[in-house]
Amino acid sequence: MDVHEILEKTVTGLGYELVDVERSPRGRVLRVFIDKPEKMRGVDIDDCALVSNQLSRVLTVENIDYDRLEVSSPGIDRPLKKEADFGRFAGSEITLKLRLPLNGRRNFSGRLQGVLDGKVRVQTDAGEMAFDLVNIDKARVVPQFDMKKSGDRLV
């Protein structure tokens, strides 16, 4: 079993979603990003500590070599990696970068419409576009901030 499979099995076994895994260039730092979709406010420090403690034990038993383990939330600019992510975040503003250019462009942004038959649909300024899921190098949710005013002050 490789590291990603071990992480996926452990994280999902604890009731979380494995969003992403990063390894430092020399593989000494292992960064694990988790989410819990049913939690309205996302994962918190207690969730990260729980997953970190369990992963530390499992990685030791599996003899995975690393110096530091970091477990965190995916952040407000959450990466979209799996096909299910593109369905779950339909309606959100996203940015994406393609592996191979489409009409001479690799970077796009717009409102995510969803995914159908392996094609990610995005409403851009130029209209609705469809991108092959396998051609998407990076995709992220664009954070939206609610700028409500209270008198003359932003809250």
Q: Which domains does the chain have, with CATH numbers?
A: 3-72 (3.30.300.20), 83-141 (2.30.30.100)
Per-residue exposure over 64-92, b if at least 16 CB sit within 10 Å of its own CB, e if not: beeeebebbbbeeebebbeeebbebbeeb
* Contact of 116 with 65, CB cutoff 8 Å: no
pLDDT per residue as tens digits for the range 28-86 = 999 999 999 888 888 999 999 999 999 999 999 999 989 999 999 998 899 999 999 99
- Residue 141 corresponds to which amino acid? V
Q: What is the pTM of this model?
A: 0.80
Helix ranges (H only) for the chain are 3-13, 45-61, 83-88
